[in-house]
Chains A and B, each alone.
Chain A
Amino acid sequence: MDEILQLIAIIAVVAGTAFSTLGVLGFIRLPDVYTRLHATGKVGVFGVVLLLAATVAWTPLGWSKGLVLIIFLLLAGPVTSHALSSAAYRIGIPFATAVRDDLAESSEGGSPEEVAA
């Protein structure tokens, strides 16, 4: 039984670390604020959740706290991403490259520059 739990923990830690690294790599490489938020959201949703899955498997007495924290992170991560992207759009940070922008054409948006003015 111990061996199975240890194996689960090893796999989860390796996968979580890989996803964290990928997220930070994307954070450095991607061109503007909005695309970077996709990459950092991945650190929260995959990296930390997989590491916590390892703690659920292998830390004694820690499994229920780990589960509560996993559920909290899955609920709070998107809220943070949305708040940051919405704030960036309101204060008028431009897109580096945008193929199309339906929000600017709608009545709600206006282009980022107009909203800032």
Chain B
Amino acid sequence: MLATILNATLYTALAIHVVLIGVALWRIWRGENIVDRLISADLVTVLTLAVLAVIALITRNSIYIDVALGLAALGFIGTIALAKYMADEQMF
């Protein structure tokens, strides 16, 4: 009984997060300025982490959390590097 409710909740959450990723991608395309687009790109990474967490819950397989760990580290470093590049106009 509770397992059915959990499954329904998980699939609903998955659908909602995919829609939210679509909204963030639209904001990358139609951003006001460069920082706005960078914030949208960071938002896409964070929402993909959420989707991976939901998929790990649906399949009950912890391998997806490993993928999320890698994506979190890469997204963090990428956003910091691009922000520093914008502020200083040089990478290092």
Contacts and interface: CB of A to CB of B under 8 A. Distances in A.
Contact of B53 (A21, A43, A51, A83): A51
In which size bucket is the chain B interface? 35 or more
Given A40-B43, A86-B87, A20 B79 contact: no
Contacts of B36: 33, 36
Nearest to B63: A62
Interface in A70-102: 72-73, 76, 79-80, 83-84, 86-88, 90-91, 93
Contacts of B65: 52, 55, 59, 62, 65-66, 69
A33 to B, nearest CB: 5
Contacts of A21: 16, 20
Contacts of B90: none
A62 B83 contact: no
A43 B62 contact: no
Contact of A55 (B27, B40, B53): B53
A13 B13 contact: yes
B42 A72 contact: no
Contacts of B40: 27
A49 to B, nearest CB: 10
B60 to A, nearest CB: 6
A17 interface: yes
A13 B43 CA distance: 19
A93 B35 CA distance: 9
Nearest to B32: A33
Contacts of B12: 17
Contact of B27 (A6, A10, A27): A27
Given A33-B33, A60-B62, 12 more contacts: A6-B6, A10-B5, A24-B23, A24-B47, A27-B24, A36-B36, A55-B56, A55-B62, A69-B69, A83-B84, A86-B83, A87-B35
